[in-house]
Structure 1
Amino acid sequence: MAEKTVPHFHNDPGVAVIHVGAREFMCIGATPPFDHPHVFLDMGDEDEIICPYCSTLYRYKAELKPGTAEPAACLWQGPSNAAAA
């Protein structure tokens, strides 16, 4: 069975918008240990969503591969995601 990994993003750089290549992902706010509860966000048919915990604006960008972001530093490569990288 294929394993599907949900990408996790954070906003340590403090940017106004994080462009992502997925419409479903987790926002962790900041890198641990300063993260907020990991929130699953689903844009549905929309092109952007705001995290209810940290107010980070995420915007879908079709040119990006799933599991990538601009800026790239906003992708969290934590223990659960490291195996998928």
Structure 2
Amino acid sequence: MAGHSIPHFQNDAGHAAVEIGVKEFMCVGASQPFDHPHVYLDMGDDEEIVCPYCSTLYKHDPSLKADETRPAGCAYHDEAA
């Protein structure tokens, strides 16, 4: 089993761009029932990536922690666990 979990992000407010502190993550779209398949995204050497499902532009900001976003409130936390 992996030693870390992949951060998940959402965009309920429909922001044009969301800054995050990681380059590998999952996008879930928005909260249910407006979510989309949880898609793994990897920026690689780039500093930004667009989700192919919801078109959210994610920008890497290394000053943010793995669970921080700018604007705030875009980190997704599964409440089923």
TM-score computed with the length of structure 1 as normaliser: 0.86
Using the TM superposition, give the Cα deviation of residue 78 of structure 1 relative to its aligned residue in structure 2, in angstroms.
1.1
Q: Once the two structures are superposed, what CA deviation does each residue of 1:23-53 show, in whole Å capped at 9, x if it has no partner?
A: 0000001012221000000000100000000
Provide the rounded CA distance (Å) in 1 between the counterparts of 2:36 and 2:11.
11
Q: CA deviation at 1:56?
A: 0.4
Map of 2:42 onto structure 1: 42
Please give the root-mean-square deviation of Cα atoms over the aligned residues, in Å. Answer: 1.8
Q: Distance in 1 between matches of 2:69 and 2:42?
A: 16
How many residues align structurally? 81
Q: Which amino acid aligns with 1:63?
A: S
**TM-score, structure 2 length as denominator?**
0.90
1:50-61 equivalent positions in 2, closer than 5 A: 50-61=50-61
Pairing of 1:18-37 with structure 2 (within 5 A): 18-37=18-37
The offset of 1:2, in angstroms, is 7.0
Distance, in Å, in 1 between the alignment partners of 2:22 and 2:72 is 14
Structure 1, unaligned runs of 5 or more = none
Q: CA deviation at 1:7?
A: 0.7
Q: Tell me which stretches of 4 or more aligned residues in structure 1 moved more than 6 Å.
A: none
**Bigger proportion of residues as helix:** 1
Q: Please list every run of 5 or more consecutive structure 2 residues that lacks an aligned counterpart in the other structure.
A: none
Q: What is aligned with 1:9?
A: 9
